[in-house]
Amino acid sequence: MNIKIGNKIIDPTKIICLGRNYIDHAKEMKVQVPKNPVFFVKTVNTLVTNGNPIIYPKILYNNQEYNQVDHEVELAFVVSQTCKNIQAEYAYNYIEGYTVFLDITARKMQISDRNVNLPWYRSKNFDSFGPIGPRIAPYSEIEDPHNLNIQLKINGELRQQSNTKHMLFKIPKILAYLSKFITLVSGDIVATGTPSGVASIQPGDIIEASIDQIGAIIHKVILEE
């Protein structure tokens, strides 16, 4: 699926996300800190670019069992070329650039599924649950992707604030480990996990997510018609 992010068109086949990659977030979710990177997949129907709305699904809003949708701001990188069984020291040869990603999550649904050992799939993959942008900062522009301030505001109020230096697994390790299992191709997106401070969004909210040296995305939350 072609998508234009800033002035660049990419064709991602998948979005791989890390779970529990900031210790403070693992603690707030009351889950164990992992020994190896934890991955799950988001599908490309989730992607929406800067300025487009996040659709709050009716099926969640009208159901007390599921009416909690959370924001998670994350640094993501875009893969530049086919990548399989690579070594960590060469990881940066496979990175096109960096962008801001929101891993929107139907939290009550995720927890209730997790509690009965079901996958996270449905709670993560509603349409528009993957805002991205505002651009892909070229790999060569970002001197150190592990020293970037990252933050998220709702209606101007700060909710998440951290720095990518707190990532548990860093990008070379993530890409080397991931490429042992699957083949990544040009345009694939890898989101590197969220810091603490995740909380709920509501229809009408304005979400602003930003990372130093990359930029900010702004999205309004609207209720599905």
Q: Convert residues 99-138 into a mask of x (bound to Mg ion by CB under 5 A) and - (unbound).
A: ----x-----------------------------------
Long-range contact set of residues 17-21: C-beta below 8 Å, sequence gap at least 24: 17/41, 17/42, 17/74, 17/103, 17/124, 17/190, 17/191, 17/193, 18/169, 18/174, 18/190, 18/191, 18/192, 18/193, 19/120, 19/193, 20/168, 20/193, 21/167, 21/168, 21/169, 21/192, 21/193, 21/194
Q: Which of 194, 209, 217, 219 binds Mg ion (CB under 5 A)?
A: 194
For residue 113, CA distances in Å to 66, 71, 122, 155, 187 come to 11, 18, 9, 30, 30
Q: How far is the CB of 190 from Mg ion (least distance, A)?
A: 12
Please list every residue from 74 through 103 that binds Mg ion, using CB under 5 A: 103
Q: How far is the CB of 149 from Mg ion (least distance, A)?
A: 18
Q: Convert residues 33-72 into a mask of x (bound to Mg ion by CB under 5 A) and - (unbound).
A: ---------------------------------------x
Q: Convert residues 138-177 into a mask of x (bound to Mg ion by CB under 5 A) and - (unbound).
A: ----------------------------------------
- Taking the least distance from each CB to Mg ion, the nearer of 72 and 188 is 72
Residue nearest to Mg ion as judged by C-beta position: 103
Name the site residues for Mg ion (rule: CB under 5 A): 72, 103, 194
